[in-house]
Amino acid sequence: MIKIFAPASIGNVGVGFDILGVAISPIDGNLLGDSIEIMSSNQFHLINKGKFANELPSDNKKNIIWQSWNYFCKIIKKDIPVSITLEKNMPIGSGLGSSACSIVAGLVAMNEFCNKPLNTSKLLNLMGKLEGNISGSIHYDNVAPSYLGGLQLIIEENNIISQSIPIFKKWLWIVAWPGVNLSTEVSRALLPKKYTKEICIQHSKNLAGFIHASYTQQPNLATTFIKDIIAEPHRIKLIPNFSYAKKNVLEMGALSCSISGSGPTLFAICENITLAKKIAKWLTKHYLQNKKGFVHICNVNNVGACKIGE
């Protein structure tokens, strides 16, 4: 039996639409992510459990774990009968890489179970394709950090899909999921097909500035560049209370605040635990819409997908 955990992630990180993503873990030790347990069987069998298992499709062939198993078997050209248990601890359509968690955990588990026939690059490529089936286009900003850990920059050149970039160790990442779902496909479809030259220039400046500040370890400079001018202006209409929450979180002293992935989760960055707790308390009171919602103060998860129970 093999059990794999894959952590949640913040896609885009505000400034890096589709090409930046960071894996996160709550500082209180809670597991924010999905896990897969896999063992030998006479035929394929899937069991769904966990806090958000009821959100999964009843038809196994529509479940991302069945699709991951099916794709993997086709790639290695061998049908592998297994029993898989998915512990779904991530809400679907949250903006925290829920589908990526399942894809990463599922494929890493299959690869481990079969003695690693696929290398890191091939496995990551497969993860991106599966993610594309859900969102409508291939992107790696959630699967790469969930698989590899850390802050990942999507390269997709010279047979390199993703590479890690330096992080700021003092940063605390506060994530607030309001308790409602937002389809990634719907959120992506809302974006314009063309942008003005001015927007393109500013976006390039922001992204280049953030990468430069990361490598030269200038945290204050880095946060000035975390500005989402590509997606956030168009997506805020889908996320009630986001603008109000962002304004208040920044006024409270957060270094930055933006939409996590496609939303509706909000993320904020600060360096002080006292302030982080104050912001988390405010978001719990003013941003969550129901009892399903949650707020976590997180560090960067530098491990990514890993075996558990050993």
Which pLDDT belongs to residue 196?
Answer: 97
Which pLDDT belongs to residue 58?
Answer: 84
**Residue 240, preceding bond cis, omega within 30 degrees?**
no
Taken in order 228, 233, 236, 238, the sign of the CA dihedral is negative
Q: What is the dihedral of CA 142, 146, 147, 149, to 10 degrees?
A: 120
Over residues 119-140, the mean pLDDT reads 88
Mean per-residue pLDDT of the chain: 95
Residues 161 and 271 in one domain: no
- Which amino acid belongs to residue 170? K
Residues 16 and 115 in one domain: yes
Which pLDDT belongs to residue 177?
Answer: 98
Which pLDDT belongs to residue 18?
Answer: 94
Query: Does 30 have pLDDT greater than 80?
Result: yes
Over residues 52-74, the mean pLDDT reads 91
Query: Does 262 have pLDDT greater than 70?
Result: yes
Pairing, β 256-259 against β 20-26? unpaired
| pLDDT tens, residue by residue, 172-197 | 999 999 999 998 888 888 999 999 99
Cβ count near 291 (within 10 Å)? 7
**Band of residue 137 on the pLDDT scale cut at 50, 70, 90:** confident
Residues 136 and 224 in one domain: no
**Band of residue 239 on the pLDDT scale cut at 50, 70, 90:** very high
Residues 24 and 143 in one domain: yes
67 against 184, higher pLDDT: 67
Q: Is residue 138 a contact partner of residue 128, using CB atoms and an 8 Å limit? A: yes
Give the rounded percent of residues in the chain with a pLDDT score beyond 70.
99
Query: Does 310 have pLDDT greater than 80?
Result: no
* Domain at 144, CATH number: 3.30.230.10
Residues 210 and 278 in one domain: yes
Residues 68 and 180 in one domain: no
Query: By three-state DSSP, how is residue 135 classified?
Result: helix
* Domain at 267, CATH number: 3.30.70.890
Letter string b/e over residues 104-132, b meaning 16 or more CB atoms within 10 A of that residue's CB: bbbbbbbbbbbeeebeeeebbbbbbebbe
Residues 100 and 32 in one domain: yes
Residues 7 and 147 in one domain: yes
Residues 151 and 286 in one domain: no
Residues 75 and 137 in one domain: yes
Give the rounded percent of residues in the chain with a pLDDT score beyond 90.
90
Domain tally for the chain? 2
Alpha carbons 40 and 81: distance in angstroms, whole number = 7
User: Which structural domain range is residue 186 located in?
Assistant: 172-299
Residues 27 and 159 in one domain: yes
Over residues 280-286, the mean pLDDT reads 98
Q: What is the pTM of this model?
A: 0.95
Which pLDDT belongs to residue 256?
Answer: 97
Which pLDDT belongs to residue 25?
Answer: 98
Residue 259, φ and ψ in degrees, nearest 5: -85, 135
- Specify the range with the lowest mean pLDDT, choosing from 107-111, 114-118, 180-184: 180-184
Quote the DSSP letter at residue 108: H
Over residues 56-85, the mean pLDDT reads 92
Question: Cβ neighbours of residue 145 under 8 Å, at least 6 residues apart?
Answer: 7, 9, 21, 22, 23, 97, 151, 152, 301, 304
Distance of CA 157 to the CA centre of its chain: 22
Residues 6 and 155 in one domain: yes
Over residues 41-48, the mean pLDDT reads 94
Taken in order 162, 12, 264, 176, the sign of the CA dihedral is positive
